[in-house]
Amino acid sequence: MRLASGAADRRIVTVPPIDLLSGGSEYVTDPAAPEVDVEISRSASGLHMRLRADVVLVGPCWRCVTEARVPIRIDVGEFQSDGREGGSFDEDLDSAYIDEGRVELALWVRDSIAEALPAVILCRDDCAGLCPVCGGDRNEVACDCRVESTDPRWDALREISERLGSEE
């Protein structure tokens, strides 16, 4: 990171496999050693860093628990000031991924993946999940189990509604 003002350095770097815990389930990047594109440039005010990568996160589907492979595209930036104005770390401006002149790349990649995770991790968009009665995978077999769709806590209100409807 010893760059002159206006200079830049770009490298393709292999990072170790990234483990991530989401929704109580463990996920790992695939292939085992993802490559990331890191670009660092220096300006008069500090270092500008950009991280780009395409990774696939592998782990359980949230509906059927089979293997889900989620493609994730990362394109994020960070800034580290030279500290000329005040000299100390400013958490609003400075990167948390630089420690003693070194970029903590694996941590930056892990956090970037965590921020890019979809709201729900599925094996496929139309995953039908598991049957709540028999536990069968609805993606593989059609089950004839009857699922009670009402909440018994609403029974008292349902009875009142039925009585009011029958009085008309």
Percent of the chain clearing pLDDT 70 (strictly above): 92
Q: What distances in angstroms separate CA 127 from CA 2, 5, 13, 61, 115, one per listed residue?
A: 50, 52, 35, 9, 23
Outline where 17-118 has alpha helix (H).
Answer: 105-116
Q: What is the pLDDT of residue 101?
A: 74
Spacing of C-alpha 71 from chain mean position:
10
Q: What is the per-residue pLDDT across 55-70, written as a single tens digit (0 to 9) for each?
A: 999 999 999 999 999 9
Q: How far is CA 19 from CA 15, 36, 106, in A?
A: 12, 16, 10
Cis amide linkage into residue 31, ω under 30° from 0: yes
Segments of the chain scoring below 50 in pLDDT: 84-86
Q: Residue 108 domain-assigned? A: yes
Looking at 95, 116, 137, which one is the last position of a domain?
Answer: 116
Q: Which domain does 95 fall in, by range?
A: 8-116
pLDDT at 7: 83
Say what the pLDDT of residue 34 is.
80
Residue 95 lies in a domain: yes
User: Which pLDDT value is given to residue 150?
Assistant: 78
Question: Is residue 45 situated within a structural domain?
Answer: yes
- What are the tens digits of pLDDT across the range 17-46? 899 999 889 999 987 778 899 998 988 888
Residue 143 lies in a domain: yes
Same domain for 99 and 23:
yes
Q: What Å distances lie between residue 112 and 38, 57, 74, 106, CA to CA?
A: 13, 12, 7, 10
> What is the separation of C-alpha 6 from the centre of its chain, rounded to a whole number of angstroms?
33
98 and 51 in a common domain: yes
Q: How many angstroms separate the CA atoms of 77 and 112, rounded?
A: 10
Please say whether the dihedral angle defined by the alpha carbons of residues 151, 153, 157 and 158, taken in this order, is positive or negative: positive
> Does residue 12 lie within any of the structural domains?
yes
Q: Are residues 37 and 100 in the same domain?
A: yes
Q: What's the number of domains the chain is made of?
A: 2
Over the chain, what is the mean pLDDT?
86
Q: Does residue 3 sit within a domain?
A: no
What pLDDT was estimated at residue 30?
Answer: 87
